[in-house]
Structure 1
Amino acid sequence: MLPSPSEPSELSQPGQPTPQRRSEKSHRAILDAAMELCVEHGYGKVTVEAIASRAGVSKKTIYRWWPTKGAVLLEAVIELAGTTTGFPDTGDIAEDLHTQMTAVLDNVMTGPHATVYAGIIAETQHDATLADALRTQLLDPRIAAARARLLQAREHGHLAPGTDLTMLVDLLYGPLYYRLLLHLAPYSHARVRTHIDHVLRIFAPTPASP
Structure 2
Amino acid sequence: MPQLETEPTAPDRASGRAAGRISRKHKAIVEAALACAIRDGVQATSVDAIAAQAGVGKQTIYRWWPSKAALYVDVYSEIVGKDVLMPDPGPLTTRLAAFLSKLFRLYRETPAGRILAGLVAAATSDPETRRALQEGLVLGRAELVEGLVGEAVADGTFGGDPAIANEIVVAVVWKRLVMAPDSLDDAFARTLADLALSAAASSPYRTGAAP
Whether the aligned pair in 2 keeps the contact of 1:109 and 1:117 (CA below 8 Å) is: no
Aligned to 2:188: 191
C-alpha separation in 2, matches of 1:182 and 1:9: 57
- Matched pairs, number: 195
1:203 Cα deviation (Å)? 6.3
C-alpha separation in 2, matches of 1:95 and 1:69: 37
Tell which deviates more after alignment, 127-136 or 26-35.
Answer: 127-136
Q: Deviations over 1:135-186 (max 9, x none)?
A: 2222324322322321221343432x3x233322223343222211224423
User: Structure 1 residues 117 and 60 mapped into 2: Cα distance closer, same or farther (>3 Å)?
Assistant: same
Whether the aligned pair in 2 keeps the contact of 1:84 and 1:103 (CA below 8 Å) is: no
Whether the aligned pair in 2 keeps the contact of 1:86 and 1:142 (CA below 8 Å) is: no
Runs of at least 5 residues in structure 1 that lack an aligned partner in the other structure:
1-7, 206-210
3-state SS of the aligned residue for 1:49? helix
Structure 1 runs (4+) greater than 6 angstroms displaced: 11-14, 202-205
Aligned to 2:149: 150
Structure 2: which amino acid aligns with 1:191?
Answer: F
C-alpha separation in 1, matches of 2:101 and 2:111: 16
In the alignment, does 2:160 pair up with 1:166? no
Identity of counterpart residues, as a percentage? 26
1:13 Cα deviation (Å)? 7.6
Whether the aligned pair in 1 keeps the contact of 2:32 and 2:53 (CA below 8 Å) is: yes
C-alpha separation in 1, matches of 2:141 and 2:90: 19
C-alpha separation in 2, matches of 1:99 and 1:134: 24
3-state SS of the aligned residue for 1:43? coil
Aligned to 1:65: 64
Higher RCO, 1 vs 2 (CA within 8 Å, ≥6 residues apart): 2
TM-score normalised per structure 2: 0.76
1:188 Cα deviation (Å)? 1.2
Runs of at least 5 residues in structure 2 that lack an aligned partner in the other structure:
1-7, 203-211
Structure 2: which amino acid aligns with 1:186?
Answer: S
User: Structure 1 residues 199 and 75 mapped into 2: Cα distance closer, same or farther (>3 Å)?
Assistant: closer
